[in-house]
Structure 1
Amino acid sequence: MVVHNPNNWHWIDKNCLPWSKTYFDEHVVKTKVEQNDYKFFLNSVDSVTGDCDVTQRKGKVLCIYDMKLQFQVEVQYKDEENKLNAKITVPEFVHDQDEDEYVFEIDADDHKSEIRKIFVPVLKSKLMKFQDDLIKAHEKDVQHATS
């Protein structure tokens, strides 16, 4: 992306939604947790929808995103052969959200409380890295070198 923007004064946006899907595939898929006789494995990102932009205005790089995320998780209890598939949805993954404001909707026939207690904190910690990684990956695309 070529930017003609003296002193980085004008508003520049870059759509990063396709990059976001790739990011979650690379950084969240294959997340594994084993604890308290449970094994959890996040095996796919079903959907990433909404808006995700890196923007620059008056020399400051910011990101603005409001997405809905859906993940497939496999749950196995003890040494049982049967595995339960669960869906975790984050209905609002937003750039100005505090860590304690994340909502995780769990669609599973069984073991919902264990998914929430054991797996969700690990997933949340991975999601918390997204904003910094997004800006680092795209800030050069929205700023003009002013040397």
Structure 2
Amino acid sequence: MVVNNPNNWHWVDKNCLNWAKEYLENNLTTISKAVSVAKNKKDSGDNSEILIKVVKINSVSGDCDVAQRKGKTKCIFDLNLEFEVNGVLLNTKDDAIEGKGETPAGKDAEKEGKESSEKSSEKSNANVLFSNKVSLPEFLHDMPQADYNFIIHSSTINSDEPLDMNEKSVIRANLLPLVTAELMKFQSVLIDTHSKDIQHSF
């Protein structure tokens, strides 16, 4: 889209909220980190490996615009984010032996692949140790990184797993720095993607 705005004098803007929702969904849900966590003090075994990851964006609301005036392009956004984080147990014996054996052919392969996928999904759900909702009430275009105030809400915990950890501390120390780093890229990508849509024509 090229607008009729000689010399870029008039204020022109574009609503990018839908793009922001899609961008954050695509990029935040790729974030994960493996962490070694001590077992319960009653258990003298080795540490357990868990994978903490962003699994879903629950909501993105607010305003997100790219604007141009007098030849200068800028973005203005004020967003409220909420996403879900899971902690999944990694080092189980089943994980170590899964996938071994000969690969079947034809319909048998398709059937076995489907069954394997279903089992993997069930197993993944069974290995979820905790689930937390995390919100960022203010994500602003002029906000310094130090002011990002993530709120980690109460956990849903699988208490059968003998792990000695504070879920909120694990998330804050290991995952949120990666989320913050990804959010810091948002503004430049937003401008690069949409600035051409508000260029003037003479």
Alignment equivalent of 2:140, drawn from 94, 98, 122 = 94
Percent identity of paired positions between Structure 1 and Structure 2: 42
Instruction: Give me the whole-angstrom Cα distance separating, in 2, the residues matched to 1:82 and 1:43.
Output: 11
Instruction: Give me the whole-angstrom Cα distance separating, in 1, the residues matched to 2:141 and 2:190.
Output: 11
| Structure-1 residue corresponding to 2:193 | 137
Moved more, 68-77 or 121-130: 68-77
Render the CA deviation track for 1:19-66: whole Å, top value 9, x for unaligned.
000101111113111123331111111100000000001110000000
Residue 107 of structure 1 and its aligned partner are, at CA, apart by 1.1
Q: Which runs of 5+ in 2 are unaligned?
A: 37-48, 93-126, 156-165
* Structure number, greater radius of gyration: 2
Q: Are 1:122 and 2:134 an aligned pair?
A: no
Instruction: Give me the whole-angstrom Cα distance separating, in 2, the residues matched to 1:102 and 1:89.
Output: 10
| Structure-2 residue corresponding to 1:9 | 9
Equivalent runs, 1:23-34 vs 2, <5 Å? 23-34=23-34
Residue 77 of structure 1 and its aligned partner are, at CA, apart by 5.0
Corresponding residue SS for 1:83: strand
Q: Give the 3 Å change call, closer, same or farther, for CA 82–42 of structure 1 in structure 2.
A: closer
TM-score by length of 2: 0.68
Larger proportion of helix: 2
Equivalent runs, 1:22-61 vs 2, <5 Å? 22-36=22-36, 37-61=49-73
Corresponding residue SS for 1:46: strand
Q: How much is the aligned-residue C-alpha RMSD, in angstroms?
A: 1.6
Corresponding residue SS for 1:42: strand
Instruction: Give me the whole-angstrom Cα distance separating, in 1, the residues matched to 2:52 and 2:23.
Output: 20
Instruction: Give me the whole-angstrom Cα distance separating, in 2, the residues matched to 1:108 and 1:79.
Output: 25
Q: Which runs of 5+ in 1 are unaligned?
A: none
Corresponding residue SS for 2:4: coil
Task: Name the structure, 1 or 2, with higher relative contact order (CA <8 Å, separation 6+).
Answer: 2
| Structure-1 residue corresponding to 2:21 | 21
Larger proportion of strand: 1
Q: Which portions of structure 1, spanning 4 or more consecutive aligned residues, are displaced by more than 2 angstroms?
A: 35-38, 76-83
